A = this chain, B = another copy of it.
Amino acid sequence: MGDEKRRLAAVAVELPEGVTPPGTAGRILHAGLQLFSEYGFHGASIRDIAVAAGINSATLYAHYPSKEHILAALVRLGHEELHGRLQRALVSAGDGPGATAATGATAQLAALVRAHVTAHAEYPLLAVVANSELHALSAELAAPAVALREQSTRLLLAVLHKGMETGEFAVDDAFLAAAAIAGMGLRVAHWFGPHQPYRRDEVADEFAAFALRLVGVAAEKPATRRRSRR
């Protein structure tokens, strides 16, 4: 699955639009994103980040009070972006015109997984930093992200429980199903990239179909299935 030596595939260093601070602060964030995702928090130095941002290392402290705060900003940003997408996906799926009591959870789970996978395929570096470097933060600086993560988990569990109650899903254990579904989506950030023969929405659709099968929902269009690509 790609270059197995690196933490993730060669991807453009991108942050969600609208939320990145302008000017130097934003360039520092981009530099941190790139270096933290590749070398980890402790593996990237203040000077490395400064060089990548095109500034002197001392200038950095005019924008962030410490190296840790750069990471905290990225981790928070990543968790906010994901949680916002999950929430919007849920709302859209729940309010859809075709939603009934018998298909609500199915559509919501598909929307949730699609959003989850899309986010990880769209911002792989941010996802890796938010997931794999959270532990480098102090409890205080990690708190906002931890809270968001718990809420995101709750969204998934709620949909699973709902589907189990309506009978849409045949699942023994909601937690284990959530862990499996979340795990397969999280990992996308590590292998997805422009070198793959897939578009983001192809992966998202396929993984949503995987999730539905996983919870016991039969495939909706068995005839439409494409041939294998790999």
Using a CB–CB cutoff of 8 Å, the interface residues on chain A facing chain B are 1, 4-7, 38-43, 132, 134-137, 139, 142, 146, 149-150, 153, 164, 170-188, 191, 198, 203, 206-207, 210, 213-214, 216, 219, 222, 225-230
Contact = CB atoms under 8 A, between A and B. Distances in A.
Given A7-B135, A39-B42, A42-B39, A230 B187 contact: no
A153 B1 contact: yes
Contact of A210 (B43, B180, B207): B180
Contacts of A38: 135
A184 B191 contact: no
Contacts of A230: 173-175
A184 B179 contact: yes
A5 B173 contact: no
Contacts of A7: 132, 135
- Find the residue from A41, A142, A207, A213 having the highest chain B CB count within 10 A: A213
18 contacts: A1-B179, A1-B182, A5-B134, A5-B135, A5-B139, A40-B41, A42-B42, A42-B43, A43-B136, A164-B228, A170-B225, A172-B206, A174-B228, A176-B207, A177-B210, A179-B191, A183-B185, A214-B214
Given A172-B226, A174-B230, A176-B207, 9 more contacts: A1-B182, A4-B146, A7-B135, A40-B43, A40-B135, A172-B206, A172-B229, A173-B229, A214-B214
B179 A181 contact: no
A153 B1 CA distance: 8
